[in-house]
Amino acid sequence: MGGLYVNRTRLILVALVVVLACALPFVLSSYRVFQFNMVLVYAIVLLGLNMLTGFNGQISLGHGAFYAIGAYVAAVLMDHWGVPYWVTVPVAGVICFIAGFLFGLPALRLHGHYLALATFALGISMPQILKYKGLEEWTGGVQGIVILKPEAPFGLNISQDQWLYLFTLIIALVMFWLAWNLLRGRIGRAMVAIRDHPIAAEAMGIDVAAVKTLTFGVSALYAGVGGALGAIVVQFVAPDSFVALVSITFLIGIVIGGLASISGVIYGALFIQFVPNIADEISKAAPWAVYGLFLLAFIFLAPAGIAGFVRALWARLTTGSTRKKRAAQTQET
Amino acid sequence: MEAFLHQVFSGLANGAIYASLALALVMIYQSTHHINFAQGELAMFSTYLAWAMINAGLPYWAAFGLTVVASFFIGLIIERAIVRRVADAPVLTVVVVFIALLVILNSVTGWIFTYTIKVFPSPFPEEPLFGPYISSHEAGVVGVSIFVLVTLFLFFRFTPLGLAMRATAENAVSSRLAGIRTGWMLALGWGIAAAIGAIAGMMVAPIVYLDPNMMSGILLYAIAAALMGGIDSPLGAVIGGLTVGVLENIMGAYVVGTELKLTVALVVIIGVLIFKPTGLFGRSFVTRV
Amino acid sequence: GEQQTDDQDASVDEIKIGSTNPYSGPASAYGTIGRAESAYFKMINDQGGINGRKINFISLDDGYSPPRTVEQIRKLVEEEEVLFLAGTLGTPTNSAIHKYVNAKGVPHVFVNTGATKWGDPQNFPWTMGFNLSYSNESKIYAQYVLENKPDAKIAILYQNDDYGKDYVHGLKEGLGDKADTMIVAEASYEVTDPTIDSQIISLRASGADTFYNVTTPKFAAQAIRKANDIGWKPLHLLNNVSTSVGTVLEPAGLEKSVGLITALYLKDPVDPQWADDEDMKAYTEWFNKYMPDESIDDAFNVNGYIIASGVARLLEACGDDLTRANIMKQMASIKDLQMPMMLPGITWNTSAEDFFLIESAQLARFDGKEWALFGDVIGN
Amino acid sequence: MAGSINTSKVAESQQANSVLLRVAGITVRFGGIVALDDVSFDVRRGEIAGLIGPNGAGKTTLFNCLSRLYDWQNGSIEFEGTPLADVRRHRVAELGIGRTFQNLALFKTMSVRDNIKVGAHCRSRGGFLANALRLPLTGREEPKVDARTETLIELLELGEVADIPAVDLPFGTQKRVELGRAIAAQPSLLLLDEPAAGLNHQEVETFIELIRRIHEELSLTILLVEHHMNLVMRVSDRVFVLDFGRKIADGTPDEIRRDPEVIRAYLGTDS
Amino acid sequence: MPILEVSGLCAGYGASDVLHDVSFSVEQGGITTILGANGAGKTTVLRALCGMLRSARGSIVLDQVQVNGKATESIVRLGVGHVPDGRGTFMNLTTEENLRVGAMTRRDKAAVAADFERVFSYFPRLKERRHQQAGTLSGGEQQMLAISRALMLNPRLLLLDEPSFGLAPLVVQDIFRIMRTINEVQKVAILLVEQNASLALDLASTAYILETGRVVMSGPAHELREAESVRKSYLGY
Ligand SMILES: Nc1ncnc2c1ncn2[C@@H]1O[C@H](COP(=O)(O)OP(=O)(O)OP(=O)(O)O)[C@@H](O)[C@H]1O
Ligand SMILES: Nc1ncnc2c1ncn2[C@@H]1O[C@H](COP(=O)(O)OP(=O)(O)OP(=O)(O)O)[C@@H](O)[C@H]1O
Ligand SMILES: [Mg+2]
Ligand SMILES: [Mg+2]
């Protein structure tokens, strides 16, 4: 976490990635643009989850639930009230923030595996709640809701896919910027301090309960924004889109990408978006087995996540000094 | 009233299923401090082994014994070959390894044995035990769970090996400094857990049928049961399992209906945990500075 | 959205067809359907293809997750540029792409679920379902009950998803005004439930004398066995999804299955009554050659086999006019087609207004050995 | 921080000898164990008070009460007139009580610099929104925290290791980081739990200098638990002695050194 | 004939070494002490001896057995008790269970029982706290427990990393008395790392001074006691 110095190389790198990301929809086919659009969506969700789990140390196996809430908020708003798609995104964020905060309150009492279970339970229950008769009028029950795809505004001469991608990209950049600010400042330090030693953190004057619940809220907010964007991109929400497996996939994303790493969520998002397809191409008989092997391979080759791997590589390339290397091990990019 | 009793008994029978897998979870927790998400699939895989042996003509008990032994070694090998490599990694990394194992086992089993359900025989007589309430097999499952519970309890409480395993799970470095072969303790923990899982699988399969997804639902309940009972307590696992079984039935039949019964049951469990954060029978450990 | 007209050039010697199936994930039991379809096309290609063209059947994994279906279908349509889609499996998954494929004008046929919405030519002219719709099937049972047991007290067990709810809805429609009085209990289950014992106990306790069992194979077997074990002997109506003798009734116990009633339209490879049937011989021969590692018991394979043979049949009908418009046109002009592995007398019929392929079935009662068909073929 | 020297000197002379911390009749039980038994004492503003006693006498337990980690069954603790019982845990630091931990409680993965910055948490402002949006407030606060941190790093000679994760440092250095973290909160009362454990003779000498220096420069009141008699006796103005949870003596170091009860229970003869 | 003979030991954590070419020995039944400043590498030496550092190179001979590269537990089973830096308490086990873990390698039930009584007589506090969760013991109590745990192993060679750490003066005196006793009565050889140089040099026969990972001085303890530099840095007179 320490030494988040914004040096020039890093700035250039970030700028390069952003430029590349902006250029993407103009060089790739619509279908690929759609895939990368989902990568951005996942990256936002993973960023929130990593904030909670990686930085703050609260394990969530149920973030799919907030992703679902975000998606449904967007879908219901658009479907029932004709709310413009871009309005639904912040609304979904706010609603999920509240939901996350409220869930975070009882979660304060639970630690480790017990918290993991509680969040997992949330993930498992969500499809059932979405199917529930009493909510059917809004949620469309098991049928789900079909959403219309937005056109590019201001008479821009670009396709819907390109526009949606850019729209998502802008939001993603904002979300990354916010997370970056948050994590490198006073609150970010407090989050990590709580993860490393909650008792000492409290003795240092950190309101552990408040930081934890708010982190839960913010993390749910990210999931909700991601959910809303995901719903708009996929143009469809249904309970079956938000099964417990989704939450597990998000967890895989942050671990493979790199716990407590901001850049890691991008790697993680790429992994969860593309590796299942690769697995499918390798075997129709047992694609899951292939997927599992990929997981194991990544964990073994990059135990600190892809971000950690890249960092170590970078450290080896740039300096031979042991000090820096050591510092890099726990620093984050 | 009769229906109510029936629901309770059926809940107990289901609960015994959850308990049997929960015991395997407690076993692995005690010896590694992890919750093994692949435990259910491991049990399922073991049960397929037993099924294959029985199909090949082996008598039930021979297949049973061989399966338990084979599962022990499978657990051992998985620990040595795979889990060992992430021994020092953060919990979540290990969780991902478990998930990888889960999907691999699930998928490979489906591939080898196909997804059609299979009948798995019961070692217990056909006739029901208490009228229509509970079958002999279900009663048998309860009995087996209690047997495993008592064995585990005695093992951890009174044998040096049990103590060595607990010590290893808690502080591997200090354990090595006490001369404990921690590598073997972890492998042994996996082995025993896999063996218990195999027993659980063979007890469960006659009731739910054998298929590659047989355990995925049960695992969820078993985790809930183990945590509600206290993840370090074999007794808690059994009582947790039975409670979850009954609770779920009563919720579904009389309180919230079947659609939300799982949700509500989970809410109740979490409620219990909030009230008692280490589970009903879990020991609470103080961290002091 | 823009409508694409990249119909395939008739001169090509390969026809690309796209599909999705859950090969991974909790629904991977259905994966065998996709593998059966692929195996069938392999046979077709081995025999020289259709009208001299090989079939390139690209079936992708969607894990039964709607967002992934959208992604895979877009890949098939936009990257692979398949001529059409066939046999995509699952209601939520197909719902997710329903609008997309119709906007794109890509034929989306033999949709492999029984939801009613796949037969709506007005709004979705490019989509046509395959199965007898769940609601039509339900209406057959409703009619049967109304005729044979007018004062029945019905208890329903259904899977808590669109498949289950479609069935329940269909039954209620079929019963009409009497639905409220006749249906005395409903209980649902989740696919993750280990057992449905509790539900069976509740349903029995409702005093029902008729049991409408809307479950997938594993739960169907559990339900049949459990009802029997607790001594509940209702008129037991079992949905067509789970009529496989090999994978449902045998596990449940053949003697416990006696008296089950269902609506059939496919032949079951394990049902002894078809042992000497020509269709079945061809099927078995194909199966042993092309799917040696799979289980012949599994009636899901029949589903894949028929869909694939339907697709082959469709391509034959299209001749050299391999345009998307022609595909839909041929799809919508099937008359009294008797396909292999379909029950005798159950034919396919479609028209520009009628996008339901299979609309009839025949009731059957399980006699402990085989499904004894009785009554006429019901439906149009 | 450096600038505060003069003003605080004035304040100190005004308030000299006023009671900063009052512990009255504190009793703490764990099941059957009585860890503290009716313990009372005062710490005056500006002094260095030593707290000694055999192992398990209850010294750390007392510290844990002062930072509200433990609840006590009887008695009261007042800090600057505020009853501590009414103060929530995370408010203790803000109130002016800082501490180090006997067994180290650093934020392991964080760098030395960040550890110290966390220490300054209670003296800076800016919540989630201000941080995420980089409101002007953050722009003002962060540089202040940075500056204070750098001053402390210099004071404690941690410059060499400032970017290294705390967990990789030798024990003694970690103790210094903890000290830095504690004083970053600008406490008026500093609780040190065995700060010199594991230091050799020369290091203890250096440490005594350091203690005196921070006491002076930061005008702190210090309550010190230590088994290193040389250190305690040299820096303390007064010493309290606990044994089996009970206070058995208090007085100047000289008085304590001669107290037969203390010699019997704690010091032994050859020290 | 030394029970422990170390030569050319290099070891570290990660990329660079902390120890450079360290050589020393402990005589059979003797007491050797290693002194050194904070971070000099004393703990690292003890860790390397016990096979806890993969990076360790050089030769370590324990009673004529080359133990380099052996697993920690195998080395321990040769009769090496280790009171580690940081105490290594099993926080969630009881005091008694901690001690039972210490005696895990032993089969002689009666002797173990006797040793229980012995360590309880050394540290009556532990007996009182017998069934308490060890994690809640006070710092000093945990230190007593760590020493006792090592004694329960009935070692031939005892490695002590700052045994007096966090102990009250009286107890420190006790500990050194105990060390002397077990050394004399049970012929346990001791390698002592200690900050209280005065006591350590009194107890030990041989001493080594470690500075930034190198042995800079060694010899009979009483001689080192007189050395100017040792007096200034470690003894304070
Ligand atoms: N949470 C707790 N549960 C049970 N007993 C406790 C707890 N905390 C402390 N104790 C007991 O209270 C007594 C006092 O402990 P404390 O840590 O205050 O001692 P101390 O004076 O700091 O000793 P040391 O000098 O060894 O650090 C000890 O005997 C300890 O075992
Ligand atoms: N786990 C570790 N990871 C990385 N570096 C370490 C680790 N442990 C110790 N070091 C480094 O190795 C060097 C020697 O440390 P060691 O603990 O051996 O010193 P020591 O002489 O025992 O000091 P002390 O008196 O503090 O116990 C120190 O510079 C320390 O930073
Ligand atoms: Mg203490
Ligand atoms: Mg050391």
pLDDT over 90 (residue C215): yes
Testing ligand 2's pocket by substitution, the residue of E33, E38, E43, E214 carrying the most ligand atoms inside 8 A of its CB is E43
pLDDT one-digit tens code per residue, E124-149:
999 999 999 999 999 999 999 999 99
Of E52, E77, E93, the CB nearest to B170: E93
pLDDT over 60 (residue B75): yes
Query: Do residues C218 and B210 lie in contact, with contact meaning Cβ atoms separated by under 8 Å?
Result: no
Rg of chain D over CA atoms, in angstroms? 19
pLDDT over 90 (residue D268): no
**Residue bearing the bigger pLDDT, B177 or D217:** B177
pLDDT one-digit tens code per residue, D165-189:
999 888 888 999 999 999 999 999 9
Nearest to C126 by CA among C85, C161, C167: C85
The mean per-residue pLDDT over the stretch D8-26 comes to 71
Interface residue C65 vs chain A (CB under 8 A):
yes
E38 lines ligand 2 (CB under 6 A): yes
**Cα distance between residue D238 and residue D232, in whole Å:** 9
Of D55, D61, D205, the CB nearest to E168: D55
Amino acid identity of E83? V
The mean per-residue pLDDT over the stretch B31-44 comes to 92
Instruction: Compute, in angstroms, the gap from residue E35 CA to the centroid of ligand 2.
Output: 14
pLDDT one-digit tens code per residue, C235-284:
999 999 999 998 899 999 999 999 999 999 999 998 889 989 999 999 99
Check residue E23 and give its pLDDT: 95
Amino acid identity of A98? I
**Residue bearing the bigger pLDDT, D202 or C12:** D202
Question: Domains (ranges, CATH) in chain B?
Answer: 2-275 (1.10.3470)
pLDDT over 70 (residue D90): yes
pLDDT over 90 (residue B179): yes
Domains: count for chain D: 1
- Find where tokens 């798995």 sit: B120
Instruction: Compute, in angstroms, the gap from residue B287 CA to the centroid of ligand 1.
Output: 12
Residue nearest to atom 2 of ligand 2 (CA): D168
For residue A268, what is the domain's CATH number?
Answer: 1.10.3470
Check residue B288 and give its pLDDT: 79
Chain E nearest-CA residue for D53: E168
Could you tell me the pLDDT band of residue B267, with boundaries at 50, 70 and 90? confident
Q: What is the mean pLDDT of chain D?
A: 89
Q: Which one of the ligands is nearest to E89 CA?
A: 1
Of A182, A196, A202, the CB nearest to D90: A202
E42 lines ligand 2 (CB under 6 A): yes
> Given an 8 Å threshold on Cβ–Cβ distance, is B166 in contact with E149?
no
Check residue C191 and give its pLDDT: 87
Q: Please calculate the CA angle C356-C361-C364 and round it to the nearest 5 degrees.
A: 160
Domains: count for chain A: 1
Q: Is beta strand D82-83 parallel, antiparallel or unpaired with respect to D246-251?
A: unpaired
**Cα distance between residue E208 and residue E41, in whole Å:** 12
Q: Which residues line ligand 1 (CB under 6 A)?
A: B 286, 288; D 30, 33, 35, 53, 55-61, 102; E 129, 132, 136-141, 166
Structure tokens at C27: 């629904």
b/e string for B170-191 if b means 16 or more Cβ within 10 A? bbbebbbbbbbbbbbbbbbbbb
The mean per-residue pLDDT over the stretch E194-199 comes to 89
User: Which are the contacts of D263, defined by CB distance < 8 A and separation ≥ 6?
Assistant: D269
Distances B67 to A165, A206, B109, B214 between C-alpha atoms, Å: 53, 53, 16, 17
What DSSP string describes C226-238?
HHHHTT---EEEE
pLDDT one-digit tens code per residue, A13-26:
889 989 888 888 88
User: Of how many residues is chain E composed?
Assistant: 237
Check residue B131 and give its pLDDT: 67
pLDDT over 80 (residue A319): no
CATH number of E2-79+155-235: 3.40.50.300
Q: What are the chain D neighbours of E39 within 8 Å (beta carbons)?
A: 169-170, 172-173
Q: What is the mean pLDDT of chain C?
A: 90
Could you tell me the pLDDT band of residue C1, with boundaries at 50, 70 and 90? very low
Check residue A1 and give its pLDDT: 36
D165 lines ligand 2 (CB under 6 A): no
Interface residue E15 vs chain A (CB under 8 A):
yes
CA distance B268 to chain D (A): 30
> Given an 8 Å threshold on Cβ–Cβ distance, is C229 in contact with B248?
no
> Given an 8 Å threshold on Cβ–Cβ distance, is C29 in contact with B213?
yes
pLDDT over 80 (residue A325): no
ipTM, 2 decimals? 0.91
Distances B225 to A284, B25, C235 between C-alpha atoms, Å: 36, 10, 37
Of E73, E84, E93, the CB nearest to B166: E93
Check residue A207 and give its pLDDT: 95
- Other beta carbons within 10 angstroms of residue B150's beta carbon come to 13
Q: What stretches of D98-135 show up as alpha helix (H) in DSSP?
A: 112-119, 128-132
Interface residue B127 vs chain A (CB under 8 A):
no
Interface residue B92 vs chain E (CB under 8 A):
no
Q: What are the chain E neighbours of A325 within 8 Å (beta carbons)?
A: 14-15
Chain A nearest-CA residue for B227: A114
**Cα distance between residue B173 and residue B185, in whole Å:** 13
Backbone angles phi, psi at C154, to 5 degrees: -100, 135
pLDDT one-digit tens code per residue, C114-159:
888 898 999 999 999 999 999 999 999 999 999 999 999 999 999 9
Check residue C380 and give its pLDDT: 62
Q: Please calculate the CA angle B201-B205-B206 and round it to the nearest 5 degrees.
A: 135
Structure tokens at B31: 């010896």
- Other beta carbons within 10 angstroms of residue A79's beta carbon come to 18
From first CA to last CA, the distance across chain B in angstroms is 54
pLDDT over 90 (residue D1): no
Burial of D160 (0-12, 13-18, 19+ CB in 10 A): exposed
E197 lines ligand 2 (CB under 6 A): no
Check residue D15 and give its pLDDT: 55
User: Which are the contacts of B230, defined by CB distance < 8 A and separation ≥ 6?
Assistant: B236, B240, B278, B279, B280, B281, B282, B283
The mean per-residue pLDDT over the stretch B125-145 comes to 81
Instruction: Compute, in angstroms, the gap from residue B171 CA to the centroid of ligand 1.
Output: 22
User: Which are the contacts of D141, defined by CB distance < 8 A and separation ≥ 6?
Assistant: A186, D124, D125, D126
User: Which are the contacts of B224, defined by CB distance < 8 A and separation ≥ 6?
Assistant: A117, A121, B18, B240, B244, B265, B266, B269
Helices A63-81/A30-49 angle, 10° precision: 120
Instruction: Compute, in angstroms, the gap from residue D170 CA to the centroid of ligand 2.
Output: 4
Q: What stretches of chain C show up as alpha helix (H) in DSSP?
A: 31-46, 66-74, 91-104, 134-148, 162-175, 179-182, 197-205, 217-229, 250-252, 278-290, 300-318, 324-331
Parse chain E into domains and list their residue ranges. 2-79+155-235, 92-154
**Cα distance between residue A315 and residue D248, in whole Å:** 58
Chain D nearest-CA residue for E37: D200
pLDDT over 80 (residue C11): no
pLDDT over 50 (residue E228): yes
Beta-bridge partner residues of D223: D49, D191
**Cα distance between residue C276 and residue B266, in whole Å:** 53
User: Which are the contacts of E228, defined by CB distance < 8 A and separation ≥ 6?
Assistant: none
> Given an 8 Å threshold on Cβ–Cβ distance, is A241 in contact with C74?
no
Structure tokens at B159: 């044998």
Check residue B130 and give its pLDDT: 66
Beta-bridge partner residues of C334: none
Testing ligand 2's pocket by substitution, the residue of D171, D177, D206 carrying the most ligand atoms inside 8 A of its CB is D171
User: Which are the contacts of B205, defined by CB distance < 8 A and separation ≥ 6?
Assistant: B47, B51, B118, B120, B214
Q: What stretches of chain D show up as alpha helix (H) in DSSP?
A: 4-15, 59-66, 92-95, 112-119, 128-132, 136-155, 171-184, 201-217, 229-235, 253-258, 260-262
Q: Which domain holds residue A220?
A: 2-148+155-332
Check residue A332 and give its pLDDT: 37
Structure tokens at C38: 């692929």
> Given an 8 Å threshold on Cβ–Cβ distance, is B108 in contact with A286?
yes
Against a cut of 0.90, is the pTM above it? Answer: yes
**Residue bearing the bigger pLDDT, E155 or A153:** E155
User: Of how many residues is chain D composed?
Assistant: 271
Residue nearest to atom 29 of ligand 1 (CA): D56
Check residue E204 and give its pLDDT: 94
Q: Is beta strand C84-86 parallel, antiparallel or unpaired with respect to C108-111?
A: parallel
pLDDT over 60 (residue D4): no
Residue nearest to atom 24 of ligand 1 (CA): D55
For residue D215, what is the domain's CATH number?
Answer: 3.40.50.300
Q: What are the chain B neighbours of C190 within 8 Å (beta carbons)?
A: 217, 262
Check residue A157 and give its pLDDT: 78
Check residue C264 and give its pLDDT: 92
Check residue A252 and give its pLDDT: 95
Query: Do residues A42 and A28 lie in contact, with contact meaning Cβ atoms separated by under 8 Å?
Result: no
User: Residue C110 is inside which H or E element, if any?
Assistant: strand C108-111
